[in-house]
Amino acid sequence: MTSEMPDARAGLPARAAGQGAPWATSSRPGTFRAALESGAFTVTAEIGPPRGADAGAIARKVAPLRDWVAAVNITDNQGASVRLANWAGSLAALAAGVEPIMQLTCRDRNRIALQSDLLGASALGIPNILVMTGDHPRFGDHADAKPVFDLDSVQLLWTARTMRDEGKLLSGRKLNPPPSWFLGAVENPSAPPADFRAARLGKKVTAGAQFVQTQYVFDAAAFAGWMAQVRDLGLHERCHILAGVGPIASLRALAHLEQGVPGVQVPAQVARRLRGVPPDRVADEGIAICAETISELAQVPGLAGVHVMAVGAEHRIPAILRQAGLAPMLATGRAGHAG
Amino acid sequence: MDSRTGDGPRAAGARPATVAAPPASPATSPRPVSPRAPARSMYLLHHLLEPNAGYRRLAAWLEARPRLRRLFTAAEKGVKQEIFGCRMCGQCTLPSTGYACPMTCPKQLRNGPCGGVGADGCCEVYPEMRCVWVEAVERAESQGRPGDLLRLQLPIDHRLWGQSSWIRYWQGRDEDLWTDPTRSGMEP
């Protein structure tokens, strides 16, 4: 991976923070940002840390993706269920040679802990942060937990940007040295209020988002409609937009997505296709649908790439991308959309 | 993972009463409240409550008298609780959210809805309730005020819970609640 790194990352600012971290690895920070800025169709993948004290689980999931993705998202107790920490998982991904995007939610930490974790991430060489509100504890394995939500995602983006660009905390105290990361946000184009979703992304971009990854897209045509609003606001020029995609691996997963995941809608034609094949063919059909969606999305003007969420089936991501007509990314930028 | 109580038919546009179902965790999660007054009358009323020299003097006078201040605060709480489900965060942002209170969102989001809003506009945590941000956007747009929703609402000061936001507002202490409307190409 290192050997293919271009020297032409000249556009990236020198990183004062995080240099000399003892676990600095084969992965050099900035791969993801450089890929986006090169204009290549960029792929990222979601990695859920294990429920257990095993950093090796991250390495095993990440290794097959090394040539295929520019970065991996390390989730932050996704679904409000306890997992290995986001920062620890991010370090494990770095050690496995893939650049992490550390997810950070507002659910479990107040503004003191959030700012502290942000500093820690920068100091340890975690180059990308993805800020989100977070699922409510009610959906997780500790429904009896106290939800924090001291800041919301827009406020946290603004806080992080202020820490980085103005070198100060919310309290006004100076940071020495200031942190540096590439800042991202999430958006759900298909959730109501529909006519406010693009404007809400604009709010996040103004607050500091440099890239955005969306919730699952199953309907590329509906997504293209949202992207038209995004382009009307000029947001695709101020922020790199990656559409979230993922294969539905089983009828059980389909039922779960249809009913159990807030903000996700599976279109009727997708459900029909999955229910219309023999049970042993559902997983393959799910992959075929996902690959078709990626091919359609690659044609949407202003879209920077896709974020593949294949939780529990990360090893199948290369096959999905191949089927979608994408060549390996080799961490330095894709030659182009081959399909 | 827990699930929403399903996608069964829900009366379109229904405004469920705030007292309908028992809260899942009353101590920690606010419940969305649909305001019990039309947006138009709230914007009109706002003009009557706009800061002026009289209100400023009244606020300063009340502030110097703890018992009267407590009485006034209780009256403010009574009115706002009845209409908006006010929880007395002390930093009222109602005029910029179509008079739907974002502090009744279970995640207390002051800058817009989360990604979990149901296809029919229901709250992800309390599926029997409408998302307060769906209400806020509808109400602000109906009164020609969608630009208000683009303001970047800054983090709140948790020391102010329980205090009168009117006394603060009339004395001009609410001015750091949000930054300038977030412009740069975002106007409709």
Per DSSP, A193 falls in state S
Closest among A210, A246, A224, A198 to A302, alpha carbons compared:
A224
Q: What is the mean pLDDT of residues A77-98?
A: 96
Q: Is A254 a residue whose pLDDT tops 50?
A: yes
Are B185 and A155 within 8 A, CB to CB? Answer: no
Q: Classify residue A14: in a domain, yes or no.
A: no
End-to-end CA distance of chain A: 24
pLDDT at residue A328 in the model:
87
Q: Classify residue A169: in a domain, yes or no.
A: yes
Binning pLDDT at 50, 70 and 90, where does residue A2 land? very low
Closest Cβ opposite residue B125 in set A132, A136, A146: A136
- Give the CATH number for residue A132: 3.20.20.220
pLDDT at residue B27 in the model:
55
pLDDT at residue A261 in the model:
82
pLDDT at residue A210 in the model:
98
Domain ranges of chain B: 39-170
SS3 at position A296: helix
pLDDT at residue A20 in the model:
44
Binning pLDDT at 50, 70 and 90, where does residue B82 land? very high
Q: Is A30 a residue whose pLDDT tops 50?
A: yes
Q: How far is B68 from chain A (nearest CA, A)?
A: 31
pLDDT at residue A259 in the model:
84
Instruction: Enumerate residues 6+ apart whose C-beta is below 8 A from A121.
Output: A87, A90, A102, A104, A129, A179, A181
Binning pLDDT at 50, 70 and 90, where does residue B118 land? very high
Pick from A9-13, B133-137, B162-166: least confident: A9-13
Cβ count near A2 (within 10 Å): 10
pLDDT at residue A279 in the model:
93
Which residue in chain A has the smallest CA separation from B3?
A260
Q: Is the dihedral of CA A43, A49, A54, A57 positive or negative?
A: negative
Give the CA-trace dihedral at A132, A136, A141, A144, to 10 degrees.
Answer: 140
Q: Which one of B2, B3, B29, B105 makes the best mutation probe of the A interface by having the most chain A beta carbons within 10 Å?
A: B2
Which residue in chain B has the smallest CA separation from A186?
B115
A209-232 residue pLDDT tens: 999 999 999 999 999 999 999 999
Q: Is A106 a residue whose pLDDT tops 70?
A: yes
pLDDT at residue B180 in the model:
62
Closest among B116, B148, B51 to A199, alpha carbons compared:
B148
Q: Classify residue A285: in a domain, yes or no.
A: yes
Higher pLDDT, A57 or B186: A57
Give A187's contacts in chain B (Cβ within 8 Å): 115
pLDDT at residue B177 in the model:
87
Higher pLDDT, A28 or A49: A49
> Residue A34 in contact with residue A10, Cβ under 8 Å?
no
Which residue in chain B has the smallest CA separation from A150?
B155
A115–chain B Cβ distance below 8 A for any pair: no
As a whole number, the mean pLDDT across chain B is: 83
Instruction: Enumerate residues 6+ apart whose C-beta is below 8 A from A293.
Output: A217, A218, A220, A245
Pick from A10-14, A99-103, A189-193, B125-129: least confident: A10-14
Q: Is A265 a residue whose pLDDT tops 90?
A: no
- Cis, bond preceding A301 (omega within 30 deg of 0): no
B12-70 residue pLDDT tens: 333 333 333 444 444 568 999 999 999 999 999 999 999 999 999 999 999 999 999 99
Query: What's the domain count of chain A?
Result: 1
Q: Classify residue A20: in a domain, yes or no.
A: no
Per DSSP, B97 falls in state T
Are A196 and B7 within 8 A, CB to CB? Answer: no
Supply the ipTM of this predicted assembly: 0.87
Full-model pTM: 0.88
pLDDT at residue A5 in the model:
38
Instruction: Enumerate residues 6+ apart whose C-beta is below 8 A from A178.
Output: A16, A17, A163, A164, A165, A166, A167
SS3 at position B63: helix
Q: Is A108 a residue whose pLDDT tops 60?
A: yes
pLDDT at residue A28 in the model:
57
Beta strands at A42-47 and A182-187: parallel, antiparallel or unpaired:
unpaired
Higher pLDDT, B180 or A307: A307
Higher pLDDT, A30 or B112: B112
Q: Classify residue A10: in a domain, yes or no.
A: no
pLDDT at residue A241 in the model:
98
Q: Give the separation between CA B148 and CA B28, rounded to whole angstroms.
A: 28
Which residue in chain B has the smallest CA separation from A106?
B107
As a whole number, the mean pLDDT across chain A is: 89
Q: Is B88 a residue whose pLDDT tops 80?
A: yes
A143–chain B Cβ distance below 8 A for any pair: yes
Domain that residue A112 falls in: 27-323
